[in-house]
Amino acid sequence: MSLTAHIDIHPPVAEALAGGRAVVALESTIITHGMPWPQNDEMAAEVEAIIAEGGAVPATIAVIDGRLKIGLSEGERQALAQRKDAMKLSRADLAFAVAEGRSGGTTVAATMMAAHLAGIAVFATGGIGGVHKGAETNFDISADLDELARTPVIVVSAGAKAILDVPKTLEVLETRGVPVVGFGTDVMPAFWSRGSSLPAPLRLDTPEAIARFQKTRAALQIGGGMLVANPVPQEDEIAAPEMEGFIARAQADAVAEGVTGKAVTPFLLARILEITDGRSLKTNTALVKNNARLAARIARALSAQDG
């Protein structure tokens, strides 16, 4: 059975791909499980507009009624943002949703898989999943890390979410051979905060250099993706020491309420939103927009270097 049996590529995305023009993939778990309605759809619309202004075509990826969608119409995106039955889809269950005619938001892992299937090389998100605090007992390590190791897509993030054990996340990425590139910074950004106590493993200062690095990896037949860590703009950040207190409270609540598995990340994000009285959501939106801007520049650099 061919790919088209399960996949719908939105016409503007298909045209751009056929013409070798810049395309940026976007995930949808951030829409279905990461932010409340209506801010989730407002964020998604703004991010798509930023990518278009940046000279690339946005392709929001999701599963809708069993179809793997590469790019959504406005109506599809708005409907998904309000669905209560949306699954959170990663490598393990992406095909389950397709086979069973279900709908869901794609995580970083599933979005990378779908982007690569469609021939999209760059993807913008907020923060990747990683090694959770307490991983030594709960074994909670996001499938995003294995996907970065195997699927050749550049993921533009604001670092690893500070709800994670960031040092352990960086250790796993190094073990799996995933380059982590600080964009214009020597310090690993921590999602809501520009800085952390950790150095960024690598540093590059231009989109062209990032494109050249990924092309060189491909030429040397080094498979797999790359994580670009782009610090949140200064005016939007919540400084790390302040953020730590909020995260610790949310984490304690998750333990007290017995939240486990796939529910952990959405629970923590929602709880931190409550604790910060919406401030974390403003920062989250700002950093995704900032990442979209950079991803469009990287996608354009990649298609220019193709020529």
Positions at the binding site for substrate: 88, 108, 142-144
- 160 in Cβ contact with 143 (< 8 Å): no
Nearest to Mn ion of 140, 147 (CB atom): 140
Minimum CB separation of residue 191 from ligand PSU in Å reads 7
What b-and-e string marks burial along 13-36, b requiring 16 or more CB atoms within 10 Å of the CB? bbebbeeeebbbbbbbbbbbbbbe
Q: d(Cα 23, Cα 306) in Å, to the nearest integer? A: 14
Minimum CB separation of residue 166 from Mn ion in Å reads 15
Nearest to Mn ion of 27, 140 (CB atom): 140
**Binding residue numbers:** 88, 108, 140, 142-144
116 binds, among Mn ion, ligand PSU, none (CB under 5 to 8 A by kind): none
The residues that touch Mn ion, with contacts defined as CB under 5 A, are 140
Minimum CB separation of residue 27 from Mn ion in Å reads 15
- 155 in Cβ contact with 125 (< 8 Å): yes
Q: d(Cα 142, Cα 274) in Å, to the nearest integer? A: 24
Nearest to ligand PSU of 54, 127 (CB atom): 127
Minimum CB separation of residue 65 from ligand PSU in Å reads 20
144 binds, among ligand PSU, Mn ion, none (CB under 5 to 8 A by kind): ligand PSU
Q: d(Cα 59, Cα 51) in Å, to the nearest integer? A: 10
Minimum CB separation of residue 139 from Mn ion in Å reads 9
Minimum CB separation of residue 89 from ligand PSU in Å reads 9
Instruction: Give the residue at shortest CB distance from Mn ion.
Output: 140
Nearest to Mn ion of 183, 267 (CB atom): 267
DSSP 103-167: -EEE-HHHHHHHHHHHT--EEE-S-B--BBTTHHHH--B-HHHHHHHHS--EEEESBB-TTB-HH
The residues that touch ligand PSU, with contacts defined as CB under 6 A, are 27, 29-30, 33-34, 107-108, 125-127, 129, 142-144, 262, 265, 269, 284
Q: d(Cα 265, Cα 263) in Å, to the nearest integer? A: 6
284 binds, among ligand PSU, Mn ion, none (CB under 5 to 8 A by kind): ligand PSU
Distance between first and last Cα of the chain: 33
Nearest to ligand PSU of 142, 151 (CB atom): 142
290 binds, among ligand PSU, Mn ion, none (CB under 5 to 8 A by kind): none
What b-and-e string marks burial along 42-75, b requiring 16 or more CB atoms within 10 Å of the CB? ebbbebbebbeebebbbbbbbbbeebbbbbbeee
Nearest to ligand PSU of 10, 161 (CB atom): 161
Helices 279-306 and 207-219: crossing angle in degrees, nearest 10, is 60
48 binds, among ligand PSU, Mn ion, none (CB under 5 to 8 A by kind): none
Question: What is the distance of C-alpha 226 from the center of its chain?
Answer: 12
Active site residues: 27, 161
- 32 in Cβ contact with 88 (< 8 Å): yes
Of 166, 79, 99, 83, nearest to 129 by C-alpha is 166
40 binds, among ligand PSU, Mn ion, none (CB under 5 to 8 A by kind): none
